[in-house]
Structure 1
Amino acid sequence: MSHVVEFPQLFDRCAGIDVHKENVVVTVKINQKADQTRTFGTFTEDLQSLKSWLQAEQVTHLAMESTGVYWKPVFNILEDNFNLMLVNARHIKYVPGHKTDRKDSAWIAKLLASGLLKGSFIPPAQIREMRELFRYKKKQIGYRVSERNRLQKILEDANIKLGNVVSDLFGKSGWAIICAIIEEQSDPTLLAGLAKGRLKNKIPQLIQALNGKITDHHRFMLQTSKLALESIQQHIDRIDRRLEQYIQSHSTEVELLETIPGVGHETVKGIVSEIGFDMSVFPTADHLASWAGVCPGNNESAGKKKSSRVTQGNKMLKTVLVEAAWVATKVKTGWLKNKYYAIAARRGKKRALLAIAHKILVAVYHILKEGLPYKEPTPRIVTTN
């Protein structure tokens, strides 16, 4: 005879929410009573009605899965009135069989009541806004890179080999020459005369590189690309000013984080926009590293370790940390640099970079939690008898 195992209900009044684009299905689970399930629309008025119903039923705890972006407006309206848990959809997969929205919401409610759900980290509203700004800024930087590549292709099409001589095509000298070409200047000697600094030593090579065949079409395309680049830069600068407003009240923490090798002001904005300033939400630095996806995974069965691949984690945070790790390896001296080369010799450069990213994040955790600047670890002294 088979027995159905029933877990004790930890919350007397809780609810599970199955979120969709046009509606949400909610099941309220009250101890010793039959479940109640209702469907609401996703307009603000509908979500307010949902909140009123949950309050009338004296619900204290809610759980919902992170479905695309559709969970966000529901979360924003309910977060101030309930203990709301956002759960990774993979962690609440329903058992095989007949699947309906009603059953999904009831399953979420049952798992929540039994204490079998683990909530995702949801930072405060201010940090969520910073996160959106920083990620949008990264998108704009990507657009800028694409537009710069397009402009270089136009120059190549006109047989202007400026990139062969100028290390930074969009530095002061390179940009001045491009603007002059747009303004219908085609004399290679005059264009080369716009060189500044050490580039003046390469005037003969510049004259050769600028001797191309520029048409009106090329100038039109260059001007269009130039306008696009200027517009993108305005967007980036505007987002930057907004981000600075957010971190002004945390200037002490920002300065402390900048003491970590490889971590500059831009990196700090990227890190805190993903994890915030309050480290009490992560029990240990290892929990934070696991959430970020910068530490080895743990997959063991029958006493055998199957895989130690890193978890997926937070892609944006991982990218920012790896960039910081790369900068840290370029400083003249330092523990992180030495550690990188020691690991790279054994495990390869990619794994070494991820290991340094892990150590930077651990340092970030302790700095924010303890309010102390970065301190180089003391090398262990090995004694031999």
Structure 2
Amino acid sequence: MKKQDNYLSMPVVHQQVAGIDIGSQFHVVAVGDDPKQHVQQFGVSTKELFRLAQWLTDNQVKHVALEATGGYERALVNVLQETGFDVLVTSGANTKNYRRFKSDTSDAIHIRTLHSLGLLPPIFLPDEFSTLIRPLVRLRRSLVEDAADYIRRIQKALRAGNVRLDTVLTDTNSVSGLRVIAAICQGEEDPVKLAALVDSGCKKKPTEIIELLRGNWNRAMRFEVRSNYRLYVNLQAEIAGLDKELDQHFTDHTKGLDQPATVADPTKGRQKLRQSRNTPRLPIEQYAHKLLGVDLSNIPGFGRDALLTFMAEVGEAITKFHSAKAFAKWLGFTPNNKASGGKVLSRKTLKNKSTLPNTFRMVANSLGNMKKPNPMAAFFQRIAYRAGRIKAITATARKLAVVVYKMLTREEAYEPTKLMRDVAQVKQQQIRQMKKKLVKFGITGADLGLFTNLGVA
């Protein structure tokens, strides 16, 4: 008699479950444990995906589990969600350790079995609107990086001809820098005329600027600069068109939504956001305020770029995380401790392919450079003094994530005074530690050169 598997005696959590093994050429679907009767293969075309959904409906399936496989599952997930199935997408690491033999059919059956027993943890899936704008936001970031690369190529070509525009200006991508490059592309090579295009606020003297812009021109150099500049201008035009498309999506999605009732005047108390050349030209802070109910732009350093990335990667689905700690762990800001036998084997953080963790880190880094005092910058400086700047960036990014989570889940505005209480608690903690050390080593006020006692016994 064949020995019965132990997992078959476990309690079933989900009834009417299907497991799907995702592939690039076809999908294998299992609605039962019999490979001959309960498993079927479907193609990847739109017609086949809807036929797959109809087959699941005919078999009275309600819950569907599948693995995330680098994007091949997205079209199927959309079809299944539109059809009304409860879809769970899990990481491949959650299923591989349970398999005893490898085949597409066995994978589908194992995925179905694990989900029916409630053993598959889901990965985070954003809401429908975030899924819609995410490719556009990521495309925008890619275009900005490509545009910066063409500026670097122009710098390299000019440097080869000893036209040191990068020495004259700190940022070649500034208004003065682009003005000089445009003049060069139009055929201007006179260093005096090029120097006149540089803003008067430049720290270098006019004579020095003229000498730095006096180059050794040749035909190949001129062609390279013009070609790269044309590509840069085209990319800027594409970015502007992409901003209009995003603006239209946000307008359509927020149409009919009122401002949060908690704020009479949405512009009152809102900080003026700093804008650079690559900052999105759409009022993302207003759209995010309507959709989220709170104004995240009041957090120091949380500008339009950070807001746009947050709306594309998480959006209104932050409530899928059961706590602020879970949200911070998903972002990779907490150590994923693995211990055995009382010994810590690993403290590596979880990997996250989203661009949101890097966005939080950039905001944290900007907080460390702020001169205007605020509680978040004070927290950064305190951690940096004790553990270094790199750890301070991660710690501040985690604190930012916790603040954002609490603001959204509690529907509370940003209150710096609440963070100031933390500073007061730290001060009291430091005082208690100092008193303990004074008692431990028997130090008195006289030892410290004070005329009065410190009140320590």
Return the TM-score normalized by structure 2. Answer: 0.79
Deviates further, 211-220 or 355-364: 211-220
> What is the CA deviation profile of residues 319-368 of structure 1, one whole-angstrom value per residue up to 9, with x for unaligned ones?
11101111112222122212112222332211110111111111111111
Q: Secondary structure at the match of 2:102?
A: coil
| Larger Rg over CA atoms | 2
The 3-state SS of whatever aligns with 1:296 is coil
Q: 1:338 and 1:23 mapped to 2: Cα distance?
A: 55
Q: Does 1:299 align with 2:338?
A: yes
SS at structure 2 position matched to 1:64: strand
Q: Secondary structure of 1:185's match?
A: coil
SS in 1 for 2:295: helix
Retained in 1: the 8 A contact 2:50–2:79?
A: yes
Take 1:178 and 1:34, find their aligned partners in 2: how far apart are those partners?
69
Structure 2 gap ranges (5+) = 255-286, 433-455
Deviations 1:153-204 (A, max 9, x none): 1101111011111122122222222222222222111211222231286211
Aligned residues: 384
Q: Which runs of 4+ in 1 moved over 6 A?
A: 32-35
Distance in structure 2 (CA, Å) of the matches to 1:369 and 1:242: 29
Tell me if structure 2 keeps the 8 A contact 1:291–1:314. no
Q: How does 1:306-345 map to 2 (within 5 A)?
A: 306-331=345-370, 332-345=372-385
Which residue is 2:413 aligned to? 373
Which residue among 395, 401, 404 is the counterpart of 1:355?
A: 395
| Distance across 2 between alignment mates of 1:108 and 1:125 | 25
The code of the aligned residue for 2:22 comes to V
Q: Distance in 2 between matches of 1:223 and 1:209?
A: 20
Alignment of 1:186-201 (within 5 A): 186-199=189-202
Gaps of 5+ in 1: none
> For 1:255-294, what aligned pairs fall within 5 Å after superposition?
256-294=295-333
For 1:13-162, list aligned pairs within 5 A. Answer: 13-29=16-32, 36-80=38-82, 81-93=84-96, 95=98, 97-162=100-165
Q: Distance in 2 between matches of 1:243 and 1:355?
A: 32
Deviation at 1:205, TM superposition (A): 1.0
Instruction: Check whether the contact 2:65–2:111 (CA below 8 A) recurs between aligned residues.
Output: yes
- For the structure 1 residues 284 and 292, does the alpha-carbon distance in structure 2 shift closer, same or farther, using more than 3 Å as the test? same
Report the residue type matching 2:383 in the other structure.
I
Higher RCO, Cα 8 Å, sep 6+:
1
**Once the 2 structures are TM-superposed, how far is the Cα of residue 136 of structure 1 from its aligned partner?**
1.3
Aligned-pair Cα RMSD in Å? 2.3
| Mapping 1:198-209, distance limit 5 Å | 198-199=201-202, 202-209=205-212
Normalised to the residue count of structure 1, the TM-score between the two structures is 0.93
Identical positions, percent: 27
- Tell me the distance in 1 between the aligned counterparts of 2:387 and 2:353: 23
Decide whether the 8 Å contact of 2:19 with 2:111 is kept in 1.
Answer: yes
Which of residues 221, 231, 235 in structure 2 aligns to 1:218?
221
